[in-house]
Structure 1
Amino acid sequence: MRVYIVLISLIVSFVIAGCDDQTDLVIQPDGSIIELPVKGYNHPSIIGNEMYVNINTDSPDYFDVDTLIKYDLDTGEQELLFESVYDVSAMQGTSVNQKWLTWIDSTMDGYEEKIHVMSLETNEIRTLSETNPEYLTILSPILYEDYVAWTELNEEKMKVEVKLHNLVDNQTATIAVMESYTMMNAKLHFEDGVLLWTDTRGEKGYYFLYDIETETTESYESPFQYEGGYATLSNGRIFSLNLNEDQNWTVQNFGYYDIESGAFHQLIFGDYINYFATYGNQLVVLDNRNTLHYQEYIDEEWVAIDLDFVSDEVIDIVSFDSQGHLIMPLVREQGEKQKVAILPPIN
């Protein structure tokens, strides 16, 4: 059994001067770059014309992201939703749908973390889970409809468990116990009512799929010795980043496992990749040269599509929010205006 209690900082923060000028915030069909009047930010998530985002308010430390706001993309108006309880914080992991908003309040060093959820109907805030500062663990919740899932250390058993919380009845269930726990498989993924996680059993990697409607779990043996890293589920394909036994990031095998055929298909971008994300039939990758690759699965093949609106930008990280917006924070020099590139959901 391999169990690692590790810390990962899921921070995407930058420093810029405050901005008072209001710009055109309408997200265009082909993508837009939006200026944010904040010093720094983490993990924007969009529903309708409203962006929910953790920001740095006035701290000189640009890693100190301490406030959650709702930002109206039509008017530029801001509404304060939550302020961190920690003196030096790293709020992150924002996710929103039509009914719920989730985020993580965390100390800068990651020893203390809390998962919070807010009802958008009542504005009631609940705490779903919090870590024990004696252990370095990762809370990385995933929101899907009326459910939130995450991995959590059971301190009595010293085992990491997969948790599923029903936001309607406010009940949390343990649906699995993990044998291997690292930063590579600490985060889960939801698609169409199915929850995905990876694990290692008997020196062999496995993919696990839990159906929330039937409450059943299916497992699939991967072609790799260890669990797939940062795995995502995408229309019958399980994407993952796989390292060798030395855990050398530059020696990796990235691709997807086809659930129907049982075959693994390797995808090569640059020498290795730094980030990837999927949503439906979309795949986005940042390779080691920071080159952006955006592809759609069309007529049984992956088709590369240029995103011209960011062709002159340096992208720091890529992700899809729960509604399918492609979110790309842009690297800025100190004193430059803070910007984020957004590609709206594809119907």
Structure 2
Amino acid sequence: MGKKYLVTLLSIVTVIIFIYFSFDFFKGNHKNTLSKTMNRPEISTIEEKNKNIDIEIPSHEIFSYGFYKDDIYMSIDENSKSKLGNKIVHYNLKTKKKTILFTSNFDNSSVQGIKVNNKWVTWIDADDYGEQRNIYAMNKRTREIKRITNHNQTVVNGFPSLSGHYLSWIYYDKNKKRSYVMLRDLYKKKIKLYLY
């Protein structure tokens, strides 16, 4: 019994450390500065910290975004009832091509928490109050989008963390009144559950 407890405790600590470091390591080198260009209301600007440039993007308001090389993935408001993000858009800085990848499943939406790396894009599709949330992942090569959570789970730690092909988040089960650290292998499509 003691050995099982120790293994469980070590697993939980490992996942918590993984989540903590993945936040710092995968933040990217981009300022979280978004602004609307006053003279052109259909243009939004993102300041790129390392290159000391402003990137103008033909878009309505941007609510969440993630960079990987010349690709920007962002949550935008395109005529949503909530006036919050309702679409995930891919914008290539070289080609200037803008592609809609995902539209929210909620009438009053708030698509947010975008995380990007070389192979994956992840986000949360939520209602505007945050009471209903679903986590999604898209394979960048195939553009296949998969819903990760099965039923509007309560994600406790804000947004999931993406590290390599692993996605982690903290889930609270209202019925059991317990929190769990969830770890999803995006290739194998398996979720490991750790008691928190």
Fold agreement, TM-score > 0.5: yes
Structure 2 CA distance for partners of 1:168 and 1:80, relative to 1, 3 Å? same
- 2:142 is aligned to 122
In the aligned structure 2, how far is the partner of 1:117 from the partner of 1:32? 29
In the aligned structure 1, how far is the partner of 2:68 from the partner of 2:151? 29
Alignment of 1:25-174 (within 5 A): 29-59=50-80, 62=83, 64-129=84-149, 132=152, 140-174=159-193
Over the matched positions of the two proteins, sequence identity in percent amounts to 25
Structure 2 CA distance for partners of 1:160 and 1:28, relative to 1, 3 Å? closer
Q: How many residues align?
A: 161
Is the CA contact 1:148–1:165 (under 8 Å) kept in the aligned structure 2? Answer: yes
Where structure 2 has 5 or more consecutive residues not aligned to the other structure, the ranges are 1-32
- The Cα shift of 1:154 comes to 2.2
- 2:43 is aligned to 19
In the aligned structure 2, how far is the partner of 1:90 from the partner of 1:77? 24
Is the CA contact 2:156–2:170 (under 8 Å) kept in the aligned structure 1? Answer: no
Alignment of 1:198-213 (within 5 A): none
Is the CA contact 1:26–1:73 (under 8 Å) kept in the aligned structure 2? Answer: no
Q: TM-score, normalised by structure 2?
A: 0.71
Structure 2 CA distance for partners of 1:85 and 1:175, relative to 1, 3 Å? same
Larger Cα-atom Rg: 1
- The Cα shift of 1:58 comes to 2.8
Is the CA contact 1:100–1:120 (under 8 Å) kept in the aligned structure 2? Answer: yes
Is the CA contact 2:80–2:108 (under 8 Å) kept in the aligned structure 1? Answer: no
Deviant stretches of 4+, over 3 Å: 12-16, 25-30, 59-62, 130-133, 135-139
- The Cα shift of 1:30 comes to 3.8
Is the CA contact 1:41–1:53 (under 8 Å) kept in the aligned structure 2? Answer: yes
- 2:195 is aligned to 176
In the aligned structure 2, how far is the partner of 1:18 from the partner of 1:60? 18
CA shift digits 1:269-304 (9 cap, x unpaired):
xxxxxxxxxxxxxxxxxxxxxxxxxxxxxxxxxxxx
Specify which structure has the bigger relative contact order, considering alpha-carbon pairs within 8 angstroms and separated by 6 or more residues: 1
